[in-house]
Amino acid sequence: MHTKSIKKICAGLLLALALWLAPTEAEAHRVNLFAYVEGGVVYTESYFSDGQPVVNGQIQVTDGSGHELLAGETDAAGLFEFPLPEGQTLTILLKATMGHRAKFLLPQPEDRK
């Protein structure tokens, strides 16, 4: 084999290995959204897979029919809260940086039906 051919093969193998070992954006920045109700208030927590909060993430809250009830933004700790609307199942959508999204379905509480 020629020296140039061997160098091309080695360069190709090194490039393939580097791409295989490099983390992808999806792995490095998966976004999580959690919500719970306490005392008539819905609390949300938004964070990336590395534990960093989602700062200034866009929150959209819709009812069971898909109508927007409210919108807001997460704070520096990745938190957002709002009063619990009466008798509705809620869908909470988070839009974070670089197109990352998460959705949380908050069912209507049994005692409020």
Q: Given this model, what pLDDT does residue 86 score? A: 84
**Is the pTM for the entire model greater than 0.75?**
no
Nearest to 91, CA basis, from 73, 64, 72, 111: 64
Contact between 60 and 108 (Cβ < 8 Å): no
Nearest to 83, CA basis, from 37, 16, 15: 37
Is 59 in a helix, a strand, or coil? strand
Q: Which residues are paired to 31 by β-bridges?
A: 48
Domain at 26-112: CATH architecture? Sandwich (2.60)
Q: Given this model, what pLDDT does residue 88 score? A: 86
Contact between 93 and 101 (Cβ < 8 Å): yes
Instruction: Name the H helices within the chain.
Output: 3-21, 25-28
Task: Give domain limits for the chain.
Answer: 26-112
pLDDT digit string (tens) for the chain, length 113 residues: 566 666 666 555 454 544 454 444 444 469 999 999 999 999 999 999 999 999 999 999 999 899 999 999 999 999 999 999 988 899 999 999 989 999 999 998 664 44
